Amino acid sequence: MWSIRKPSDDNVSEFLMSLRDKNFSYDCLKGTFDVRSKDDLLRDERFRGFTPDYYRIKLGDGEQTFEKAKQALRSWKHFGVDWVQIFHPDTPIVVGADVAILAHAMGVYTLSGARIVYVIDEHEPPLRRFGFAHGTLEVHVASGEERFLVTYNTVSEEVFYEVVSYSQANKWYTRIGYPVTRMIQDQFAQESLLAMKMWVSSSQNSDKIE
């Protein structure tokens, strides 16, 4: 749904409740699970007609950084963007959990629904991974899947955060203004990377002060 006025808390609550009866708006569920690069998305025939995106940033080094990054994902800190709100940030990271995403861009509010498709929690070295993907529901402005993942290479000690997605327009207004939609998607991913970087860094500095 879209509006020039910000939806009220009641509006958002009603929207969130309605998601229980909604279906996914795309067929290739869990398509992002094994993606390691943008080339993986481009080569996979399942994603023909979708636009692939792959973003990555180094958060730091060491197991402590990895644990902080996991904590950030569990509390939806990767949505720490001024113009986007997640309802609700205490939603548990479990398969089947629904969330409402309120965005305010280009003077318009959009409210979209998504559902967690899978969770990754891998502990075996040399590459430990934690994260999840949510898939768009019928009432999302886009159609596709987005994965948020942190990785820890126990050999190099490097910790990275990745945003991987494939999407296409799902509403008439996102189809008409698709270049703008792509710009907004790119902006969110870039700001999500920075939000994670800043939160993990500030969290570690707080620990040192204490």
Q: What is the 3-state secondary structure (H, E, C) of 50-93?
A: CEEEEEEEEEEECHHHHHHHHHHHHCCHHHCCCCEEEECCCCCC
Whether the pLDDT of residue 206 is over 80: the answer is no
- According to DSSP, the residues that pair with 60 across neighbouring strands are 159
In sequence order, which residues have a C-beta less than 8 Å from that of residue 196 and are 6 or more positions away? 57, 59, 69, 72, 77, 78, 80, 150, 161
Please tell me the distance from the alpha carbon of residue 51 to that of residue 62, in angstroms, as a whole number. Answer: 33
Nearest in space to 15 (alpha carbons), one of 117, 75, 82, 98:
98
- pLDDT category, 210, cuts 50, 70, 90? very low
What the block records as the tokens of 44 is 């996979």
The pLDDT score that the predictor gives to residue 209 is 36
The pLDDT score that the predictor gives to residue 62 is 97
For the chain, the average pLDDT equals: 93
The pLDDT score that the predictor gives to residue 207 is 54
| Span of 11-25, 41-55, 88-102 with lowest mean pLDDT | 41-55
Average of per-residue pLDDT across 150-163 = 98
The pLDDT score that the predictor gives to residue 169 is 84
How much is the CA Rg of the chain, to the nearest whole Å?
Answer: 17
Q: Rounded to 5 degrees, what are φ and ψ at 151?
A: -125, 150
The pLDDT score that the predictor gives to residue 176 is 82
The DSSP line for 150-188 is EEEETTT-EEEEEEEEEEEE-SHHHHHTHHHHHHHHHHH
Please tell me the distance from the alpha carbon of residue 68 to that of residue 29, in angstroms, as a whole number. Answer: 28
The pLDDT score that the predictor gives to residue 204 is 67
